[in-house]
């Protein structure tokens, strides 16, 4: 069942701020926006397959966007997880301001009625404050460049000793932040719109605890049994349209080697949950451009082994993404735990959605991500360290990747 409305983005933000455990999914290139909230159930990762309802008939089988099902967040740190079962959603068309509200057969009648009332009441709401951006916060580095340099040099010594080939090294930034939910959602949209990032997401984990991700990176997608992952490795700063010099730099031997290491790692990860001989690298070393950087991106596909795995168990099997750990993954994670000054928390984890009615699963890599909790905001930047990595280049890359979030950093 569905209803249509005409609402502005400001009116939709008014709707979103009124929802418990609000979840927002946004893709800039396709200009698709999904908003939902008030989950009918929450669960842990061990129970999500058991409690997910069977496939139901849908009036919109051709839809490419989420209608109903699970939306959740799996943190890089093992103990951080939240998932809610959402029985309805708002899909927004930016060109026409048309809103389509989907209700699944599982949606309780009282929830449906209260949501329709909220949509009616939100019509005509005006913006009551100036635009809010993450760059308005006073960001500080959580560690010195000297500490970063020490970690980088230790990684290179591990590589020389044969422990690993590549390790993703990150550093944390923090700021005081007394924002409420409305302000956090405003800041998310300010960063997401025109970001050219396809995997943006905002999720409310608890009261005054939000994760906002302006992610350009897809982790695991599963669409009617076909799996896809698109690791990013290789970055140059963007000053607009990519130049020949930037293309040459992005496709140099170092960046191609970094990318290929992670492609091989993810081919192996997908092979564990896929049908025999179905894993293929369909694109290698593509260039994708975003508002602040250009990236080297590859694409790997496979067919899921449905006799042994669901999309969610396949996602957990491959988690965390190889592009944010290194290779080999297990040893790289051990080195990350040893050397990084602060826990990653949700950063480098994934926000996922699973619409079983449409047989679609999608997840991102939580990079370009802000976590807000207890009047503090945190974000992280990083990159892959290999044998010939240079300190200044790697350090600046970690800053460039999040410049659209942090603005001008305060030196500490």
Which CATH number characterizes residue 259's domain?
3.60.120.10
Whether residue 228 lies inside any domain: the answer is yes
Q: What is the pLDDT of residue 239?
A: 78
Instruction: Tell whether pTM > 0.85.
Output: yes
Confirm whether 63 is domain-assigned. Answer: no
pLDDT in tens, 268-279: 999 999 999 999
Average pLDDT in the chain:
92
Told to judge if 233 belongs to the known catalytic residues of this protein, a careful annotator would answer yes
Domain limits for position 296 = 141-178+221-352+375-406
Q: Is residue 327 part of a domain?
A: yes
What is the tens place of the pLDDT at every residue in 224-246?
A: 999 999 999 988 888 788 889 89
User: Given this model, what pLDDT does residue 56 score?
Assistant: 47
Of 233, 329, 360, 401, which one is the catalytic site residue? 233
In DSSP terms, which residues pair with 352 in a beta bridge?
Answer: 72, 363
- Residue 298 placed within a domain: yes
Q: Any catalytic annotation for residue 217?
A: yes
Q: Tally the domains of the chain.
A: 1
Instruction: Specify if 152 maps to a domain.
Output: yes
Query: Per the domain annotation, does 366 fall within a domain?
Result: no
Q: Which one is catalytic: 217, 258, 394, 397?
A: 217
Residue 129: inside a domain = no
What's the pLDDT band for 356 if we cut at 50, 70, 90?
Answer: confident
Residues 6+ apart with CB under 8 A from 202: 22, 23, 24, 26, 184, 185, 188, 210, 211, 212, 213
Domain assignment present for residue 98? The answer is: no
């Amino acid at each position: 069942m569905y209803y249509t409305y005409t609402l502005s983005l400001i009116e939709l933000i008014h709707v979103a701020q009124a929802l418990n455990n609000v979840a927002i999914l946004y893709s800039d290139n396709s200009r698709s926006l999904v908003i939902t909230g008030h989950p009918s159930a929450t669960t842990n990762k061990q129970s999500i397959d058991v409690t997910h309802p069977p496939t139901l008939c849908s009036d919109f089988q051709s839809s490419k966007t989420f209608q109903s099902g699970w939306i959740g967040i799996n943190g890089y740190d093992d103990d951080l997880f939240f998932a809610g079962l959402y029985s309805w959603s708002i899909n927004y068309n930016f060109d026409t301001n048309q809103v389509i509200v989907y209700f699944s057969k599982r949606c309780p009648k009282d929830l449906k009625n209260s949501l329709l009332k909220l949509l009616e009441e939100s019509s005509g709401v005006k913006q009551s404050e100036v635009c809010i951006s993450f760059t308005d916060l006073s960001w500080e580095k959580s560690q010195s460049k000297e500490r970063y340099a020490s970690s980088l040099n230790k990684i290179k010594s591990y590589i020389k000793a044969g422990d690993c080939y590549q390790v993703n090294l990150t550093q944390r930034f923090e700021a005081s932040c007394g924002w409420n939910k409305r302000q956090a959602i405003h800041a998310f949209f300010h960063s997401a719109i025109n970001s050219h990032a396809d995997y943006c997401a905002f999720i409310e984990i608890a009261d005054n605890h939000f994760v906002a991700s302006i992610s350009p990176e897809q982790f695991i997608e599963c669409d009617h049994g076909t799996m896809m992952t698109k690791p990013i490795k290789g970055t140059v700063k963007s000053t607009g349209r990519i130049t020949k010099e930037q293309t040459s730099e992005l496709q140099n031997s170092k960046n191609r080697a970094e990318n290929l290491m992670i492609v091989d790692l993810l081919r192996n990860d997908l092979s564990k949950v896929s049908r025999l001989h179905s894993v293929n690298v369909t694109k290698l070393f593509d260039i994708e451009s975003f508002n602040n950087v250009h990236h080297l991106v590859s694409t790997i596909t496979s067919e899921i082994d449905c006799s042994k795995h669901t999309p969610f168990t396949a996602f957990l099997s491959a988690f965390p993404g190889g592009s944010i750990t290194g290779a080999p993954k297990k040893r790289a994670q051990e080195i990350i735990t040893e050397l990084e000054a602060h826990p990653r928390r949700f950063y480098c984890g994934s926000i996922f959605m699973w619409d079983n009615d449409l047989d679609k699963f999608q997840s991102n890599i939580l990079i370009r991500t802000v976590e807000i909790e207890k009047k503090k905001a945190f974000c992280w930047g990083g990159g892959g360290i290999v044998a010939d990595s240079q300190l200044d280049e790697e350090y600046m890359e970690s800053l460039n990747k999040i410049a659209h979030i942090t603005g001008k950093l305060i030196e500490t």
